[in-house]
Chain A
Amino acid sequence: MQMSVQVHRGTSNSRNALVGAGVLLLIAATLPFWAPAGNASSWMREFVEIACYFTFAMMWNLLAGYGGMVSIGQQAFFGFGGYVMLMLGNFAGVNPFVAVPLGALAAGVIAVPVSFVAFRLQGGYFAIGTWVIAEVFRLSFGNVSAVGGGSGTSLTALRGIDKATRETATFWMALACVVAAIALVYLFLRSKRGLALLAIRDNEVAAESQGIDVRGMKLAVYVVAAFGGGLAGALYFVGNLRISPDAAFSVNWTAFAIFMVVIGGIGRIEGPVVGALIFWALNKFFSDYGTWYLLGLGLLAIVVTMRFKQGLWGWVQDRRGWSLFPTRRQLVMED
Chain B
Amino acid sequence: MLETLIQGLLLGGLYCLFALGQSLIFGVMRLTNTAQGDFIILGAYAVIASLGALAISPWLIAVLLLPLAFGFGYGLQRQVLNSTLGRDPLPSLVVTFGLSIVIQNLLLQLFSADPRSIETEGFNTQSIALPGGISVGTLPLVILVLAVAATAALQWLFNRTHVGRAFRAVSDDKETAELMGLNAHHVYALATAVAFVLIALAGALQAMRTTVAPSDGPLLLLFAFEAVIIGGMGSFWGTLVGALLLGVTQQIGFRIDPGWGIWFGHIVFLAVLVVRPQGLFPKTRG
A217 at the interface (CB under 8 A from B): no
List residues of B (267-286) whose CB comes within 8 Å of A's CBs. 267, 269-270, 273-274, 277, 286
A86 at the interface (CB under 8 A from B): no
Residue pair B270, A299 in contact (C-beta under 8 Å): no
* Interfacial chain A residues near B286, Cβ < 8 Å: 122-123, 125
B123 at the interface (CB under 8 A from A): no
Alpha-carbon separation in the docked complex, A301 to B101 (Å): 10
List residues of A (289-320) whose CB comes within 8 Å of B's CBs. 291-292, 294-295, 297-299, 301-302, 305-306, 309
* Interfacial chain A residues near B50, Cβ < 8 Å: none
CB proximity of B9 to chain A, nearest CB, Å: 22
Residue pair B105, A123 in contact (C-beta under 8 Å): no
* Interfacial chain A residues near B260, Cβ < 8 Å: 139, 143
A13 at the interface (CB under 8 A from B): no
* Interfacial chain A residues near B222, Cβ < 8 Å: 128, 131-132, 135
* Interfacial chain B residues near A302, Cβ < 8 Å: 80, 94-95, 98-99, 102
Alpha-carbon separation in the docked complex, A140 to B262 (Å): 11
Residue pair A258, B102 in contact (C-beta under 8 Å): no
Residue pair A305, B95 in contact (C-beta under 8 Å): yes
Residue pair B26, A124 in contact (C-beta under 8 Å): yes
Q: Contact partner of A143 among B32, B102, B263, CB < 8 A?
A: B263
Alpha-carbon separation in the docked complex, A122 to B32 (Å): 11
B45 at the interface (CB under 8 A from A): no
B92 at the interface (CB under 8 A from A): yes
Residue pair A295, B267 in contact (C-beta under 8 Å): no
B106 at the interface (CB under 8 A from A): yes
Residue pair B266, A291 in contact (C-beta under 8 Å): no
A195 at the interface (CB under 8 A from B): no
* Interfacial chain A residues near B122, Cβ < 8 Å: none
Interface residues as binary, A267-309 with B (CB distance below 8 Å gives 1, 0 otherwise): 0000000000000000000000001101101110110011001
Interface of A (DSSP majority class): helix
State which size class the interface on A falls in.
35 or more
Stretch of B65-73, B82-90, B159-167, B177-185 lying at the A interface: B82-90
CB proximity of B22 to chain A, nearest CB, Å: 9
Q: Contact partner of B80 among A120, A123, A306, CB < 8 A?
A: A306
B218 at the interface (CB under 8 A from A): yes
Residue pair B266, A139 in contact (C-beta under 8 Å): yes
Residue pair B273, A295 in contact (C-beta under 8 Å): no
B237 at the interface (CB under 8 A from A): no
Interface residues as binary, A49-85 with B (CB distance below 8 Å gives 1, 0 otherwise): 0000000000000001000001010000000000000
Alpha-carbon separation in the docked complex, A299 to B269 (Å): 32
CB proximity of A268 to chain B, nearest CB, Å: 14
B256 at the interface (CB under 8 A from A): no
* Interfacial chain B residues near A120, Cβ < 8 Å: 273-274, 277
B146 at the interface (CB under 8 A from A): no
* Interfacial chain B residues near A35, Cβ < 8 Å: none
Residue pair A117, B105 in contact (C-beta under 8 Å): no
List residues of A (116-169) whose CB comes within 8 Å of B's CBs. 116-117, 120-125, 127-129, 131-133, 135-136, 139-140, 142-143
Alpha-carbon separation in the docked complex, A129 to B271 (Å): 12
Residue pair A129, B95 in contact (C-beta under 8 Å): no
Alpha-carbon separation in the docked complex, A266 to B226 (Å): 29
Residue pair A117, B30 in contact (C-beta under 8 Å): no
Q: Contact partner of B95 among A127, A136, A306, CB < 8 A?
A: A306
A247 at the interface (CB under 8 A from B): no
B128 at the interface (CB under 8 A from A): no
List residues of A (83-139) whose CB comes within 8 Å of B's CBs. 116-117, 120-125, 127-129, 131-133, 135-136, 139
Alpha-carbon separation in the docked complex, A306 to B98 (Å): 11
Do A124 and B97 contact each other (CB < 8 Å), given the known contacts A135-B222, A139-B266? no
* Interfacial chain A residues near B91, Cβ < 8 Å: 305-306, 309
Do A124 and B92 contact each other (CB < 8 Å), given the known contacts A72-B97, A136-B267, A139-B262? yes
Do A133 and B270 contact each other (CB < 8 Å), given the known contacts A124-B31, A291-B105? yes
* Interfacial chain A residues near B90, Cβ < 8 Å: 64, 70, 266, 305
B34 at the interface (CB under 8 A from A): yes
* Chain B positions near chain A (C-beta within 8 angstroms): 26, 30-32, 34, 80, 83-84, 89-95, 97-102, 104-106, 108-109, 218, 221-222, 225-226, 229, 259-260, 262-263, 266-267, 269-270, 273-274, 277, 286
13 further A-B contacts with Cβ under 8 Å, apart from A291-B106, A301-B94, are A123-B32, A124-B31, A128-B225, A131-B218, A131-B222, A132-B225, A132-B270, A133-B270, A140-B263, A142-B259, A298-B98, A299-B102, A305-B90
Chosen A-B contacts, 18 in total, with CB atoms closer than 8 Å, are A120-B273, A122-B286, A124-B26, A124-B92, A125-B32, A127-B32, A128-B222, A129-B229, A129-B273, A132-B222, A132-B266, A139-B263, A143-B260, A255-B97, A291-B108, A294-B101, A294-B105, A302-B99
By Cβ-Cβ distance, the 6 closest A-B pairs, closest first, are A124-B32, A298-B101, A302-B98, A298-B102, A120-B277, A123-B89
